[in-house]
């Protein structure tokens, strides 16, 4: 089953 | 002093329609190069990035950097009061806690102004790295919206498979499965109807239909949409806004649990 990761997992928080 | 004028309210109405499905509120960051907005949706799954360049406005003045937190529902109420061919001017004083939207009819006989309270939004900003994408697809924005709408009926996820020959969109669920294949356009008569693929490597990625459908609210802004994809990085869905900027949406692909 596929899950939806947060976009925050891919971009650094500035 | 901040002042930005557009000769037709339509552009701002369309921009707002493009973002208000995903965002309840957002900060418009204004400086002398233009207006920028970056915000995640409430569930932090997707990211919206809007750029409106100063040179795309009929008049633009921004003496000091200004961050205007706006409730987009309230802004939508105000924008509904503008006719499409009205001139719209956004105005704010330095350090103001309100913004004024002024609408002027074409014959100059009706002038309306709406003052809206600004909000202090504590929003996280994300750094978006420069990425060389494995596949870039340009296709008619209407076609993309249609495909997302049609395939959403069959499952909550949409699989996008891009090769040199074309791009395939698939969905499956209780009803069965659905596939839509678009071949790369061979002879371009009308550029806005073309499907163009720039491929370094083929990719297959799975995305949540719900978010893709929200992105397609930007369709009225432009004829073509651009999808940029690489394995294991967020998809970028870009709609250019003629002569003034763009709205980009970022969505992480679904991954195996």
pLDDT by residue (tens digit) across B1-35?
999 999 999 999 999 999 999 999 999 999 999 99
Residues B90 and B99 sit within 8 Å (Cβ to Cβ): yes
Confirm or reject contact between B125 and chain A (CB < 8 A). Answer: yes
Residue B134 has pLDDT above 90, yes or no: yes
**Nearest residue to A14 (alpha-carbon basis) of B186, B185, B257, B49:** B49
In the predicted structure, residue B110 carries a pLDDT above the cut 90: yes
B157 Cβ under 8 Å from any chain A Cβ: yes
Per-residue pLDDT, B138: 97
Task: Of B115-124, B144-153, B155-164, B207-216, give the lowest mean pLDDT range.
Answer: B115-124
CA distance A9 to chain B (A): 9
Instruction: Report, as an integer, the average pLDDT of B229-234.
Output: 96
Mean local confidence (pLDDT), B91-110? 94
Q: Which of B199, B149, B147 is nearest to B168 (CA)?
A: B147
Please check whether residue B254 is in contact with residue A9, taking contact to mean a CB–CB distance below 8 angstroms: no
Q: Which chain B residues in 219-238 lie under 8 Å from chain A, judged by CB atoms?
A: 233-234
Q: In this prediction, does ipTM exceed 0.90?
A: yes
Who wins on pLDDT, B186 or B200? B200
| Integer Cα distance of B144 and B251 in angstroms | 16
- Residue A4 is nearest to which of B40, B128, B254, comparing CB atoms? B254
Report CB contact under 8 Å: B254, A8.
no
Beta-bridge partner residues of B58: none
CA distance B65 to chain A (A): 18
Average pLDDT for chain B: 96
**What average pLDDT does range B62-84 have in this prediction?**
97
pLDDT of residue B252: 96
**Residue ranges of E strands in chain B:** 2-6, 25-31, 34-40, 46-53, 59-62, 66-71, 87-92, 98-104, 111-117, 126-127, 135-140, 157-162, 166-172, 177-183, 196-199, 203-208, 224-229, 235-241, 245-251, 255-256
Q: What is the pLDDT of residue B212?
A: 98
């Amino acid at each position: 089953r596929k899950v939806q990761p947060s976009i925050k997992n891919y971009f650094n928080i500035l | 002093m901040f002042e930005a004028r557009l000769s037709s309210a339509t552009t701002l109405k369309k921009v707002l329609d493009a973002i208000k499905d995903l965002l309840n509120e957002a900060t418009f960051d204004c400086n002398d190069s233009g207006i920028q907005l970056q915000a995640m949706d409430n569930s932090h799954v997707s990211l919206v990035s809007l750029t409106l360049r100063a040179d795309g406005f009929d008049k633009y003045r921004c003496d000091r950097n200004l961050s205007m937190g706006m409730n987009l529902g309230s802004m939508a109420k105000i924008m509904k009061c503008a006719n499409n061919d009205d001139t719209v001017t956004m105005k704010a004083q330095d350090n103001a806690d309100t913004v004024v939207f002024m609408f002027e009819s074409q014959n100059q006989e009706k002038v309306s102004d709406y003052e809206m309270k600004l909000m202090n939004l504590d929003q996280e900003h994300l750094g978006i790295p420069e990425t060389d994408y494995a596949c870039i697809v340009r296709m008619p924005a209407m076609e993309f919206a249609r495909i997302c709408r049609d395939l959403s009926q069959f499952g909550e996820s949409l699989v996008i498979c891009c090769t040199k020959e074309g791009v395939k969109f698939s969905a499956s669920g209780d009803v069965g499965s659905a596939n839509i294949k678009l071949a790369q356009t061979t002879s371009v008569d009308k550029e806005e109807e073309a499907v163009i693929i720039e491929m370094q490597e083929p990719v297959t990625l799975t995305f949540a239909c719900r978010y893709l459908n929200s992105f397609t609210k930007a369709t009225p802004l432009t004829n073509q949409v651009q999808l940029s994809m690489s394995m294991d990085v967020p998809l970028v869905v870009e709609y250019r806004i003629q002569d003034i900027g763009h709205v980009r949406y970022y969505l992480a692909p679904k991954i195996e649990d």
